[in-house]
Amino acid sequence: MTASAFDEVAFFRAIAEGPVRALLIGRRGLIALGMPVMTRDYDFWIPADDAAALNTALLPFGMLPSRSPEEARKNGRYMLENDEHVDVLVARSVSTIDGTMVHFEDVWARRIYLTIGDVDVPIPCIDDYILTKRFGARPRDADDIRWLERFRSNQP
Amino acid sequence: MTRPGPPPTITSEQRAELEAWEDRALSPEEFEARVRAPWTDAERADFDNLVRWFNRRYPSPVERLAATRHLMAQIRKS
Protein backbone atom coordinates (compact mmCIF):
# COMPACT_ATOMS: atom_id res chain seq x y z
CA MET A 1 0.00 0.00 0.00
CA THR A 2 2.39 2.72 -1.15
CA ALA A 3 1.18 6.08 -2.37
CA SER A 4 3.98 6.53 -4.86
CA ALA A 5 7.27 5.03 -5.98
CA PHE A 6 8.88 6.61 -2.94
CA ASP A 7 10.53 3.87 -0.86
CA GLU A 8 9.99 5.00 2.69
CA VAL A 9 12.10 2.28 4.28
CA ALA A 10 15.02 3.09 1.94
CA PHE A 11 14.60 6.74 2.89
CA PHE A 12 14.94 5.95 6.59
CA ARG A 13 17.80 3.55 5.88
CA ALA A 14 19.75 6.20 3.97
CA ILE A 15 19.55 8.50 6.97
CA ALA A 16 20.24 5.82 9.57
CA GLU A 17 23.28 4.43 7.78
CA GLY A 18 24.92 7.81 7.34
CA PRO A 19 26.91 9.79 9.88
CA VAL A 20 24.05 12.19 10.65
CA ARG A 21 22.31 12.08 14.01
CA ALA A 22 18.72 12.67 12.94
CA LEU A 23 15.80 12.34 15.34
CA LEU A 24 12.46 11.72 13.71
CA ILE A 25 10.03 14.13 15.37
CA GLY A 26 6.62 15.44 14.33
CA ARG A 27 3.58 13.52 13.23
CA ARG A 28 5.27 10.88 11.05
CA GLY A 29 6.94 9.67 14.21
CA LEU A 30 3.62 9.71 16.05
CA ILE A 31 2.03 7.61 13.32
CA ALA A 32 4.88 5.11 13.50
CA LEU A 33 4.42 4.97 17.28
CA GLY A 34 0.77 4.03 16.78
CA MET A 35 -1.15 7.29 16.95
CA PRO A 36 -3.80 7.84 14.29
CA VAL A 37 -2.89 11.33 13.09
CA MET A 38 -2.45 12.59 9.55
CA THR A 39 0.49 14.01 7.68
CA ARG A 40 2.80 13.06 4.83
CA ASP A 41 5.56 15.43 5.82
CA TYR A 42 8.66 14.35 7.71
CA ASP A 43 10.23 16.31 10.53
CA PHE A 44 13.76 15.73 11.76
CA TRP A 45 15.87 17.42 14.39
CA ILE A 46 19.60 17.37 13.71
CA PRO A 47 22.59 19.02 15.39
CA ALA A 48 23.83 22.28 13.93
CA ASP A 49 26.69 20.70 12.00
CA ASP A 50 24.87 17.77 10.40
CA ALA A 51 22.90 19.44 7.60
CA ALA A 52 25.47 18.68 4.91
CA ALA A 53 25.53 14.99 5.88
CA LEU A 54 21.72 14.79 5.80
CA ASN A 55 21.64 16.48 2.39
CA THR A 56 24.16 13.96 1.06
CA ALA A 57 22.17 11.04 2.46
CA LEU A 58 18.98 12.20 0.73
CA LEU A 59 20.49 13.31 -2.58
CA PRO A 60 19.87 9.86 -4.17
CA PHE A 61 16.15 10.46 -3.57
CA GLY A 62 16.29 13.68 -5.56
CA MET A 63 15.58 15.74 -2.47
CA LEU A 64 17.03 19.21 -2.71
CA PRO A 65 17.71 21.51 0.25
CA SER A 66 16.06 24.91 0.46
CA ARG A 67 19.16 26.43 2.07
CA SER A 68 22.89 25.77 2.16
CA PRO A 69 24.13 24.07 5.35
CA GLU A 70 25.57 27.37 6.53
CA GLU A 71 22.31 29.22 5.93
CA ALA A 72 20.38 26.39 7.57
CA ARG A 73 22.57 26.61 10.65
CA LYS A 74 22.00 30.36 10.89
CA ASN A 75 18.26 30.10 10.27
CA GLY A 76 17.69 27.02 12.40
CA ARG A 77 15.42 25.37 9.85
CA TYR A 78 15.31 24.29 6.25
CA MET A 79 13.46 21.91 3.98
CA LEU A 80 14.37 19.06 1.67
CA GLU A 81 11.90 18.53 -1.13
CA ASN A 82 10.90 16.79 -4.27
CA ASP A 83 7.46 15.14 -4.29
CA GLU A 84 8.13 14.52 -0.62
CA HIS A 85 8.59 17.21 1.99
CA VAL A 86 11.08 17.03 4.84
CA ASP A 87 11.27 19.80 7.47
CA VAL A 88 14.56 19.91 9.28
CA LEU A 89 15.22 21.62 12.58
CA VAL A 90 18.94 22.47 12.81
CA ALA A 91 19.83 23.47 16.34
CA ARG A 92 21.86 22.55 19.38
CA SER A 93 19.03 23.76 21.62
CA VAL A 94 15.45 24.90 21.13
CA SER A 95 13.21 26.83 23.50
CA THR A 96 9.72 25.61 24.28
CA ILE A 97 6.77 27.99 24.25
CA ASP A 98 7.17 28.42 28.01
CA GLY A 99 10.91 29.13 27.86
CA THR A 100 12.43 25.75 28.72
CA MET A 101 15.62 25.11 26.76
CA VAL A 102 15.74 21.63 25.28
CA HIS A 103 19.18 20.43 24.20
CA PHE A 104 19.71 18.06 21.30
CA GLU A 105 22.48 16.20 23.11
CA ASP A 106 20.17 15.41 26.05
CA VAL A 107 17.32 14.27 23.83
CA TRP A 108 19.69 12.21 21.70
CA ALA A 109 21.08 10.52 24.84
CA ARG A 110 17.55 9.48 25.87
CA ARG A 111 16.43 8.46 22.37
CA ILE A 112 14.52 5.27 21.68
CA TYR A 113 14.29 3.35 18.44
CA LEU A 114 11.35 2.44 16.26
CA THR A 115 11.90 -0.39 13.82
CA ILE A 116 10.51 0.75 10.46
CA GLY A 117 10.81 -2.12 8.03
CA ASP A 118 14.31 -3.34 8.83
CA VAL A 119 15.65 0.05 9.93
CA ASP A 120 16.02 1.23 13.51
CA VAL A 121 14.95 4.86 13.46
CA PRO A 122 15.83 7.06 16.44
CA ILE A 123 13.02 9.14 17.95
CA PRO A 124 12.82 11.06 21.22
CA CYS A 125 11.54 9.16 24.24
CA ILE A 126 7.89 9.99 24.90
CA ASP A 127 8.65 12.61 27.57
CA ASP A 128 11.02 14.36 25.17
CA TYR A 129 8.58 13.96 22.29
CA ILE A 130 6.11 15.96 24.36
CA LEU A 131 8.76 18.64 24.87
CA THR A 132 9.38 18.88 21.11
CA LYS A 133 5.66 19.50 20.68
CA ARG A 134 6.13 22.58 22.85
CA PHE A 135 8.56 24.09 20.31
CA GLY A 136 5.58 25.27 18.30
CA ALA A 137 2.37 26.69 19.62
CA ARG A 138 -0.13 25.54 17.04
CA PRO A 139 -3.42 23.98 18.06
CA ARG A 140 -2.31 20.67 16.57
CA ASP A 141 0.80 20.65 18.79
CA ALA A 142 -1.39 21.02 21.86
CA ASP A 143 -3.65 18.23 20.61
CA ASP A 144 -0.63 16.00 19.98
CA ILE A 145 0.54 16.55 23.55
CA ARG A 146 -2.86 15.56 24.91
CA TRP A 147 -2.81 12.42 22.80
CA LEU A 148 0.82 11.60 23.66
CA GLU A 149 0.06 11.90 27.36
CA ARG A 150 -2.96 9.62 26.97
CA PHE A 151 -0.92 7.25 24.79
CA ARG A 152 1.83 7.16 27.44
CA SER A 153 -0.65 6.44 30.20
CA ASN A 154 -2.01 3.49 28.21
CA GLN A 155 1.39 1.88 27.72
CA PRO A 156 2.02 -1.30 29.72
CA MET B 1 -35.37 8.67 3.89
CA THR B 2 -33.39 10.85 1.49
CA ARG B 3 -30.32 9.65 -0.34
CA PRO B 4 -27.08 11.20 0.81
CA GLY B 5 -25.79 13.91 -1.51
CA PRO B 6 -22.31 14.13 -2.94
CA PRO B 7 -19.50 14.51 -0.43
CA PRO B 8 -18.77 18.09 0.60
CA THR B 9 -16.01 19.83 -1.27
CA ILE B 10 -14.02 22.92 -0.39
CA THR B 11 -12.34 25.44 -2.61
CA SER B 12 -8.60 26.01 -2.59
CA GLU B 13 -9.23 29.35 -0.86
CA GLN B 14 -11.24 27.63 1.87
CA ARG B 15 -8.54 25.00 2.22
CA ALA B 16 -5.88 27.73 2.59
CA GLU B 17 -8.04 29.49 5.17
CA LEU B 18 -8.44 26.27 7.16
CA GLU B 19 -4.71 25.56 7.02
CA ALA B 20 -3.90 29.09 8.19
CA TRP B 21 -6.31 28.64 11.08
CA GLU B 22 -4.70 25.33 12.00
CA ASP B 23 -1.20 26.80 11.75
CA ARG B 24 -1.91 29.88 13.85
CA ALA B 25 0.25 30.43 16.90
CA LEU B 26 -1.51 30.25 20.24
CA SER B 27 -0.42 32.33 23.19
CA PRO B 28 1.28 30.32 25.97
CA GLU B 29 -1.91 30.62 28.02
CA GLU B 30 -4.14 29.44 25.16
CA PHE B 31 -1.74 26.60 24.43
CA GLU B 32 -1.64 25.41 28.04
CA ALA B 33 -5.41 25.64 28.35
CA ARG B 34 -5.82 23.48 25.27
CA VAL B 35 -3.31 20.91 26.56
CA ARG B 36 -4.92 20.78 30.00
CA ALA B 37 -8.56 20.77 28.90
CA PRO B 38 -10.21 17.88 30.75
CA TRP B 39 -11.01 14.80 28.71
CA THR B 40 -14.63 13.83 28.55
CA ASP B 41 -15.42 10.15 28.98
CA ALA B 42 -16.59 10.01 25.35
CA GLU B 43 -13.41 11.67 24.09
CA ARG B 44 -11.24 9.27 26.07
CA ALA B 45 -13.17 6.25 24.82
CA ASP B 46 -13.07 7.48 21.21
CA PHE B 47 -9.33 8.04 21.35
CA ASP B 48 -8.59 4.69 22.96
CA ASN B 49 -10.82 2.85 20.49
CA LEU B 50 -9.23 4.62 17.53
CA VAL B 51 -5.71 3.82 18.72
CA ARG B 52 -6.68 0.19 19.30
CA TRP B 53 -8.23 -0.06 15.84
CA PHE B 54 -5.29 1.65 14.15
CA ASN B 55 -2.73 -0.63 15.78
CA ARG B 56 -4.76 -3.78 15.17
CA ARG B 57 -5.38 -2.87 11.52
CA TYR B 58 -1.77 -1.79 10.96
CA PRO B 59 0.36 -3.71 13.46
CA SER B 60 3.79 -2.44 12.43
CA PRO B 61 5.22 1.08 12.10
CA VAL B 62 5.91 0.59 8.39
CA GLU B 63 2.29 -0.44 7.78
CA ARG B 64 0.97 2.54 9.71
CA LEU B 65 3.19 4.92 7.76
CA ALA B 66 2.23 3.38 4.41
CA ALA B 67 -1.47 3.49 5.26
CA THR B 68 -1.41 7.18 6.12
CA ARG B 69 0.67 8.00 3.03
CA HIS B 70 -1.93 6.22 0.94
CA LEU B 71 -4.78 8.06 2.62
CA MET B 72 -3.08 11.44 2.31
CA ALA B 73 -2.43 10.79 -1.38
CA GLN B 74 -6.14 10.06 -1.86
CA ILE B 75 -7.06 13.27 -0.06
CA ARG B 76 -4.66 15.27 -2.21
CA LYS B 77 -6.11 13.77 -5.39
CA SER B 78 -9.62 14.63 -4.32
**Domains of chain A and any CATH numbers:** 8-148 (3.30.460.40)
Confidence tier at A2 by pLDDT (50, 70, 90): very low
Cα separation, A87 vs B61, in Å, equals: 20
The sign of the dihedral angle between the CA atoms of B18, B22, B27, B30 is positive
Per residue in B31-75, pLDDT tens? Answer: 999 999 999 999 999 999 999 999 999 999 999 999 999 998 887
**Which residues make beta-bridge pairs with A23?**
A45
* ipTM reported for the complex, 2 dp: 0.90
**A36 with B48: Cβ contact below 8 A:** no
Neighbours of A21 (CB within 10 A): 19
Cα separation, A89 vs A122, in Å, equals: 15
Q: Chain A within 8 Å of B71 (Cβ-Cβ)?
A: yes
The sign of the dihedral angle between the CA atoms of A24, B72, A85, A131 is negative
Per residue in A142-151, pLDDT tens? Answer: 999 999 999 9
Q: Chain B within 8 Å of A151 (Cβ-Cβ)?
A: yes
Q: What is the pLDDT of residue A79?
A: 97
Cα separation, B31 vs B42, in Å, equals: 22
Q: Chain B within 8 Å of A152 (Cβ-Cβ)?
A: no
Does A99 have pLDDT greater than 60? yes
